[in-house]
Amino acid sequence: MKGTFKITLAYLKELGACREGQREFQKAFPDGGEYQEVLDRCAEEGRFDFAVWLFSHVGPTEDVRTYNEDIIEPDKNIFFAGRLEFSGSVSVKRIQAGLGIEAGEGIEAGWGIKAGWGIEAGWGIKAGLGIEAGWGIKAGLGIEAGWGIEAGKGIQAGKGIKAGLGIEAGWGIQAGCGYCVFAGLRVPMSSWESLAVVTAKSKPNNLRSGYWKPLEGSDEKTQ
């Protein structure tokens, strides 16, 4: 599917869109609009709630959007249904892609970073809220999130990995040689078991904080 897929009010009703969403859509696109065009308007208006709903109900596209210059705009949102590629650094408010996100340098968001596939940066990855990828997360430098970090596959960083809450990986969690993994930095130790769980197939050798809980079916033991 391409981002030119036409969305109409009738289609949104069929998907079960709320009345507010229908009303706002009809106001902005009285004759309907292309999927990516609607997502771009959500980004402009800061309607992350509408964008998330569209991502979950319409799904990803095969499109690729490439930025050949640094994107340093702290108030900017980027919602893209396909794959995002940045040749340099990107520092914005929030990023979400239906497929993967890749940057030649660093990725930073004042709020969250989310991709349906993988997230990869030549430098560091940092978010004020959560970082989530359907596949793996990989950074040449450190990975840091104010909330949790979650990946369907592995999480790998050239330096340290820090999360305000928990860290979850379908595969392993690996920080750079000599660096450590920290979870639960925003909650007291008494809350680690519920709010700062670290889960993967094997326990990171350099885990320094958080409550370790192995994935179901692995040979690791809770410690």
Max distance between CA atoms of the chain, in angstroms, equals 58
CA 219 to CA 89: how far, in whole Å?
A: 40
Residue 127 is predicted with a pLDDT of 97
**How big is the chain, counted in residues?**
223
Q: Is 90 helix (H, G, I), strand (E, B) or coil?
A: strand
Q: Mind giving me the DSSP string for 127-139?
A: ESS-EEESS-EEE
Interhelix angle 35-45/48-58, nearest 10 degrees: 160
List the one residue out of 160, 130, 129 whose CA is nearest residue 143: 160
Q: Which amino acid is at 66?
A: T
Residue 20's Cβ-count burial label (10 Å; 0-12, 13-18, 19+) is: exposed
Q: Per-residue pLDDT for the chain (223 aa), expressed as one digit of tens each?
A: 999 999 999 999 999 999 999 999 999 999 999 999 999 999 999 999 999 999 999 999 999 999 999 999 999 999 999 999 999 999 999 999 999 999 999 999 999 999 999 999 999 999 999 999 999 999 999 999 999 999 999 999 999 999 999 999 999 999 999 999 999 999 999 999 999 999 999 999 899 999 999 998 766 665 5
If 0-12 CB within 10 Å is exposed, 13-18 middle and 19+ buried, where does residue 186 land?
A: middle
